[in-house]
Structure 1
């Protein structure tokens, strides 16, 4: 007989999951938002947002708190009706002036940040909750298959309070995939987990999502998380889409300073554009996209700074050094720059605090924006 699990037992070891390829595939749907506006009194949460998510695509809505990403998720789910605009699933209007389909009739799976498990129901009963349209025997088979895939079939008769946070997350995942929804919506699903557990559960969750083939939206404020899991990232700010594309697109080719800052803690140095170049205290860099006289911001990735012997390249002085495991973080004072430059160095260096160094900046790790960019 299986003994009752103790709270937090998987806090110190990574969870075991079921066999890959057994989650069961759904029929993915296309999800379309057309000119969505959502207001709460004088607050504009969404400002005419339009977005199409293709069948089977995994999209991350990324942005700071209050940017509108969770509001968009709630509108997709049918928990809220938009002030104006339409939501369509496979060209069928589910929210809008012509129709409003209730959440339980949309074929959408939901997974909330707090997991929203029913404390008075067993693990199996929680997963069964979304399978009321099936015959009892078929529903139980589907629920047990979903629990097996997330590695919790042995705890079907336990209650949520006996489970650790990671296990509760997996129960919520099993409940959301058991009905094989065409669209799956996930609101900050990994934010309540510690980092080691989060990485492991996130990777396996993505594997399950690929198996189900459901069209998936994941809301997150973590750019690294979005880069790790998404086919496409949609970066939002103040109820609007700032930029969308692959992780590489947004990281290497941000369209403005806001997007650039979201994906990297840059060294930012001010300069002025002359003849298609920006002159700054750390060097001269191409800026053909900016007009002469523009006040510019030279953004330098910390990993783009190379150390050279003193007397070579740009002179600087090390004022701080921190060992971070795979890299060392150095802060280097440079004349004419208000704040020390941060350099992330992978190769060990025998340089002490207070020592003079030369600085070389890799051009591929430099971006230039107008200082008036958002």
Structure 2
């Protein structure tokens, strides 16, 4: 598979303050990649650098066989054939839907332009809305118009900055599924920015978790969720618990609730202290009067219950399909597939 985007040792700054630090990333043709991180981590700056809207300090940005930014020069944004989609849609309010989609088309006849507009609006299921104006559309429809406009120009790469943040919650998941399906059918290569792990899981093929201008881990959602390479990634991708442990043998760790099979995140010696990271779904609880743990918090999540339990002073998150009262004692069972052992914090 040929590489569509290659970034090597990229540095970017604001007012001499480093924002992106020696960042490298490769995006394959047809992949949807998410830049995931909290506000200020550098993900939007990286998106702007790829688009040519923010100057780089050093490093290389290459699209297919063309150097967009390197020591040899800079390709201006309008020459990069990169599409941009923003969270506020950036549609022209005085233009119709059809006119918005056609806006970037140059050097072709009116008939060719209309054919492209018709095709792209059909792709995003807005064929009946050609003559409407943006204010007459819902947020999800406006975002589909923005996507149709970007795809009309056949970009080599599509960049999306928080594309779903202004969409109502009740329609967001459906829109994410619909747009992902469109991108996959069209073979679109895309990078999108979000701070929502749920959006990242639903939309992306791969995720790059960022912090302080660096990519902490890059891979599929499953890889990052079940095999985090750091506590930062483990914590960022969802609530989990740390249970003190000691390495007894390769892959075997002793804890207050017995031995747990786990994958060691770093080299450890037998007898070394560590912490086992457990996702809530890896810990199940069963009510029992003489149980080893006590329920401290209970939260109804719709299709399951989420609990915080106290186990001899250690706090663990758990899930169950059954309601268990706060204060009730219970027995814990750990499903240790994909459990991760991190070295004890110094």
Please report the TM-score for the alignment, with normalisation by the length of structure 1. 0.83
Q: Which residue of 2 aligns with 1:64?
A: 38
Partner of 1:11: none
Offset of residue 134 of structure 1 = 2.5
Alignment of 1:35-50 (within 5 A): 35-50=9-24
Q: Residues 81 and 322 of structure 1: is their aligned pair in 2 closer, same or farther, counting only changes over 3 Å?
A: closer
- Preserved contact between residue 261 and residue 336 of structure 2 (Cα < 8 Å): no
Distance in structure 1 (CA, Å) of the matches to 2:340 and 2:256 = 15
1:176-221 deviations in Å (ceiling 9; x for gaps): 1111112111111111112221111111101111122122111122
Query: Which residue pairs with 1:317 in the alignment?
Result: 294
Kindly state the Cα deviation for residue 255 of structure 1 after the two structures are TM-superposed.
0.9
The answer as to 2:116 corresponding to 1:142 is yes
Q: Deviations over 1:56-102 (max 9, x none)?
A: 22211112222221111111111122111121111211222222222
Structure 1 residues 67, 352: CA separation in 2 closer, same or farther (over 3 Å shift)?
A: closer
CA distance in 1, matches of 2:228, 2:191: 22
Q: Is the counterpart of residue 232 in structure 1 residue 210 in structure 2?
A: no
Say whether the 8 Å CA contact 1:301–1:365 is kept in structure 2.
Answer: no
CA RMSD in angstroms comes to 2.4
How far is the alpha carbon of 1:315 from its aligned partner?
0.6
Q: Map 1:1-374 to 2 at 5 A.
A: 30-271=4-245, 280-285=255-260, 289-291=267-269, 296-308=274-286, 310=288, 315-337=292-314, 339=315, 341-346=316-321, 348=322, 351-364=324-337, 366-372=339-345
- Give the drift of 1:330: 2.6
* CA distance in structure 2 between the partners assigned to 1:105 and 1:290 by the alignment: 51
- CA distance in 1: counterparts of 2:200 and 2:172, whole angstroms: 13
Give how far 1:299 is off: 1.7
| Preserved CA contact (<8 Å) 1:232 1:247 | yes
CA distance in 2, matches of 1:218, 1:320: 36
SS in 2 for 1:158: coil
Counterparts of 1:275 and 1:336, CA distance in 2: 26
Q: Residues 242-278 of structure 1: CA distance to partner in whole angstroms, max 9, x if unpaired?
A: 1111122112211111111122200223455577665
Say which SS state the counterpart of residue 235 (structure 2) adopts. helix
TM-score norm. by structure 2 comes to 0.89
The gaps in structure 2 that reach 5 residues or longer are none
Distance 1:345 1:239 in 2: 38
Residue 111 of structure 1 deviates from its aligned partner by: 0.7
Distance change in 2, residues 1:96/1:358 (3 Å): same
How far did residue 173 of structure 1 move? 1.0
Contact 1:56 1:216 in 2 (8 A): yes
CA distance in 2, matches of 1:294, 1:37: 38
Listed as ranges, the gaps of 5+ residues in structure 1 are 1-27
Q: Number of aligned residue pairs: give it.
A: 341
